Amino acid sequence: MSSAANSPTALAESLLGGNRRALSRLISWAENGHPGFPAVLEAIYERVGRAWRVGVTGPPGAGKSTLVNELALQLRRAHDLQVGILAVDPSSPFTGGALLGDRIRMEELTADPGVYVRSMASRKSHGGMARAGVDACDVMDAFGIERILIETVGVGQAEYDVMGACDTVVVVMCPGAGDGIQAMKAGILEVADVLVVNKSDLPGADRLYADLVEAAHVRAARPMAAGHHGASARSASPEPEPDASGAWQVPVIQASAGRGEGIAGEASVLEAVANHRAYLEATGLDNARRQKRFAQVRRIVDEELDSRVWSRSDLEDRVLAALKAGSTSYDIARDLVVELIDGLVAQTPQEETA
Amino acid sequence: MSSAANSPTALAESLLGGNRRALSRLISWAENGHPGFPAVLEAIYERVGRAWRVGVTGPPGAGKSTLVNELALQLRRAHDLQVGILAVDPSSPFTGGALLGDRIRMEELTADPGVYVRSMASRKSHGGMARAGVDACDVMDAFGIERILIETVGVGQAEYDVMGACDTVVVVMCPGAGDGIQAMKAGILEVADVLVVNKSDLPGADRLYADLVEAAHVRAARPMAAGHHGASARSASPEPEPDASGAWQVPVIQASAGRGEGIAGEASVLEAVANHRAYLEATGLDNARRQKRFAQVRRIVDEELDSRVWSRSDLEDRVLAALKAGSTSYDIARDLVVELIDGLVAQTPQEETA
How far separated are the first and last CA of chain B, in Å rounded? 44
Element of type H or E holding B352: helix B350-353
Distant-in-sequence, close-in-space partners of A107: CB < 8 Å, separation ≥ 6: none
Q: For the residues A182-195, what does the mean pLDDT come to?
A: 70
Judge whether residue A244 has pLDDT over 80: no
pLDDT digits (tens, 9 = 90+) for A209-230: 988 888 777 766 655 443 444 3
Answer yes or no: do B323 and A182 touch at CB < 8 A: no
Phi, psi of B350 (to 5 degrees): -55, -40
CA angle B302, B305, B308 (to 5 degrees): 145
pLDDT of res. A174 = 86
The pLDDT score that the predictor gives to residue B305 is: 82
Using an 8 Å CB-CB cutoff, list chain B residues near A59. 60, 180
pLDDT number for residue B125:
57
Residues in B closer than 8 angstroms to A157, CB to CB, are 90, 122, 125-126, 129, 156-158
Which residues are A121's β-sheet partners?
A89
B42, A331: Cβ pair inside 8 Å? Answer: yes
- Indicate yes or no: CB of A186 within 8 angstroms of CB of B125: no
Contact B122, B87 (CB under 8 A): no
CB distance A352–B342 less than 8 Å?
A: yes
Residue of A nearest to B160 (CA): A156
**Which of B91, B178, B340 is closest, CB to CB, to A186?**
B91
Per-residue pLDDT of chain B (354 residues; tens, 9 = 90+): 556 778 999 999 999 999 999 999 999 999 888 999 999 999 999 999 999 999 998 876 788 889 999 999 999 998 899 999 998 865 533 333 344 444 444 556 777 889 999 888 655 555 678 899 999 999 999 999 999 999 986 556 677 788 889 999 999 988 876 544 554 555 567 789 999 999 998 888 998 898 888 877 776 665 544 344 433 333 333 345 556 668 899 999 999 999 999 999 999 999 999 999 999 999 999 999 999 999 999 989 888 888 877 777 788 889 999 999 999 999 999 988 887 776 655 554 444 333
Contact B330 A41 (CB under 8 A): yes
- Residue in B closest to A95 by C-alpha: B186
Q: How far is CA A125 from CA A129, B157, B247, B294, in A?
A: 7, 8, 26, 17
* CA gap B144, B167 in Å, rounded: 17
Whether residue A301 contacts residue B336, with contact meaning beta carbons closer than 8 Å, is answered with yes
CB contact under 8 A, A158 and B155: no
Interchain contact, A180 vs B156, CB within 8 Å? no
Picking from A60, A153, A348, the nearest residue to B177 by CB comes out as A60
B41 with A329: Cβ contact below 8 A: yes
Residue in A226, A179, A146, A218 with CA at minimum distance from that of residue A59: A179
Find the CB nearest A305 among B134, B332, B337.
B337
Residues of chain B contacting A316 with CB distance shorter than 8 Å: 294
> Which tens digits make up the pLDDT trace of A284-299?
999 999 999 999 999 8
Minimum distance, in Å, between the CA of residue A337 and any CA atom of chain B: 6
CA distance A48 to A324: 52
Burial class (CB in 10 A: 0-12, 13-18, 19+), B207: exposed
Identify the pLDDT of residue B287: 92
The shortest CB-CB distance from B328 to any of A45, A306, A345 is to A45
- Please indicate whether residue A246 or residue B270 has the higher confidence score (pLDDT): B270
B187, B286, B352: residue with CB nearest A342: B352
What would the pLDDT profile of A123-163 be if each residue is shown by its tens digit? 555 568 889 999 999 999 999 999 999 998 655 667 778 88
Cα–Cα distance between B73 and B147 in angstroms, integer? Answer: 12
Q: How far is CA A13 from CA A8, A27, A51, B39, B329, in A?
A: 9, 15, 19, 57, 20
Q: Which of A138, A291, A328 to mutate to test the interface with B (most CBs of B within 10 A)?
A: A328
Q: Which residue of B has its CA nearest to A38?
A: B330
Which of A301, A334, A336, A352 to mutate to probe the B interface, most B CBs <10 Å?
A301
In angstroms, rounded to a whole number, what is the distance separating the alpha carbons of residues A134 and A130?
6
- Please name the member of B300, B319, B348 whose beta carbon is closest to the beta carbon of A341: B348
Are residues A304 and B340, on separate chains, in Cβ contact within 8 Å?
Answer: no
As a whole number of angstroms, the distance between CA A183 and CA B89 comes to: 8
Which tens digits make up the pLDDT trace of A267-283?
A: 999 999 999 999 999 99
Beta strand spans in B38-108 (E): 52-57, 83-89
Q: What is the mean pLDDT of residues A78-88?
A: 92
> Would you state the pLDDT for residue A329?
93
At A314 the pLDDT is 82
Nearest by CB to A323, which of B178, B293, B331?
Answer: B293
Please tell me which residue of chain A has the smallest CA distance to B189: A94
The residue of A94, A199, A307, A344 whose CB has the most chain B CBs within 10 angstroms, and thus the best one to mutate to test that interface, is: A94
Closest CA–CA distance from residue A80 to any residue of chain B (Å):
30
The Cα A122–Cα B294 span in angstroms is 22
- What's chain A's Rg over C-alpha atoms? 22
Summary mean pLDDT of chain A: 81
β-pairing, B147-152 vs B83-89, is parallel
- Chain B residues with beta carbon closer than 8 angstroms to that of A187: 90-92, 154
Q: Which of B155, B172, B179, B353 to mutate to test the interface with A (most CBs of A within 10 A)?
A: B179
* Yes or no, beta carbons of A183 and B98 under 8 Å apart: yes
**Cβ atoms A12, A46 nearer than 8 A:** no
* Shortest Cα distance, chain B CAs vs residue A21, angstroms: 24
Residue pair A96/A103 in contact by the 8 Å Cβ criterion: no
Instruction: Give the residue among B187, B344, B291, B259 at the shortest CA–CA distance from A319.
Output: B291
- Inspect the interface and report whether the beta carbons of B187 and A326 lie closer than 8 Å: no
pLDDT tens column, B296-337: 999 898 888 888 777 777 888 899 999 999 999 999 999 888
Mind listing the domains of chain A with CATH numbers?
Answer: 48-284 (3.40.50.300), 312-353 (no CATH)
CA distance A325 to chain B (A): 11
Nearest-Cα residue of chain A relative to residue B134? A329
Q: Give which of A130, A123, A140 is closest to A162, Cα–Cα.
A: A130
- pLDDT for A11 equals 97
Q: What is the 3-state secondary structure (H, E, C) of chain A?
A: CCCHHHCHHHHHHHHHCCCHHHHHHHHHHHHHCCCCHHHHHHHHHHHCCCCEEEEEECCCCCCHHHHHHHHHHHHHHHHCCCEEEEEEECCCCCCCCHHHHHHHCCHHHHCCCCEEEEEEECCCCHHHHHHHHHHHHHHHHHHCCCEEEEEECCCCHHHHHHHHCCCEEEEEECCCCCHHHHHHHHHCHHHCCEEEECCCCCCCHHHHHHHHHHHHHHHHHCCCCCCCCCHHHHHCCCCCCECCCCCECCCEEECEHHHCECCCCCCCHHHHHHHHHHHHHHHCHHHHHHHHHHHHHHHHHHHHHHHHHHCCCCHHHHHHHHHHCCCCHHHHHHHHHHHHHHHHHHHCCHHHHC
| Residues of chain A neighbouring B257 (CB-CB closer than 8 A) | none
Chain B residue at shortest CA distance from A316: B294
Query: 3-class SS at B191?
Result: helix
How far is residue A31's CA from residue A125's CA, in Å, rounded to a whole number? 11
| Chain A nearest CA to B301, separation (Å) | 5
Query: What distance in Å separates the CA atoms of residue B330 and residue A264, rounded to the nearest whole number?
Result: 38
- CA-CA distance, A220 to B141, in Å (whole number)? 42
Nearest to B158 among A157, A330, A333 (CB): A157
- For residue B300, give every residue at least 6 positions away whose Cβ sits within 8 Å of its Cβ, in sequence order, or none: A329, A330, A333, B131
> What is the rounded average pLDDT of the residues A12-35?
94
pLDDT, residue A152, reads 83
What's the angle, vertex CA B32, arms to CA A215 and CA B11, rounded to 5? 135
**CA neighbor of B67 nearest in space, from B269, B314, B217:** B269
Nearest alpha-carbon partner for A71 in A35, A7, A130, A117: A117
- What residues of B are in contact with residue A345 (Cβ under 8 Å)? 341, 345, 353
Lowest mean pLDDT among A180-189, A334-343, B223-232, B298-307: B223-232
Q: What percent of chain A has pLDDT over 70?
A: 74
Yes or no: say if B75 and B109 are a contact pair by the CB < 8 Å rule: no
- Chain B residues whose beta carbon lies within 8 Å of the beta carbon of residue A226: none
Residue of chain A with shortest Cα separation from B36: A330
Mutate to test the interface with A, among B68, B330, B342 (most CBs of A within 10 A): B330
Please count the residue pairs, one from chain A and one from chain B, whose beta carbons lie less than 8 angstroms apart. 261
Among B308, B323, B240, B327, residue whose Cα is nearest residue B275 = B240
Please count the residues of chain A. 354
Dist CA A323 CA A332 (whole Å): 8
CA dihedral B109, B110, B112, B118 (to 10 degrees): 100
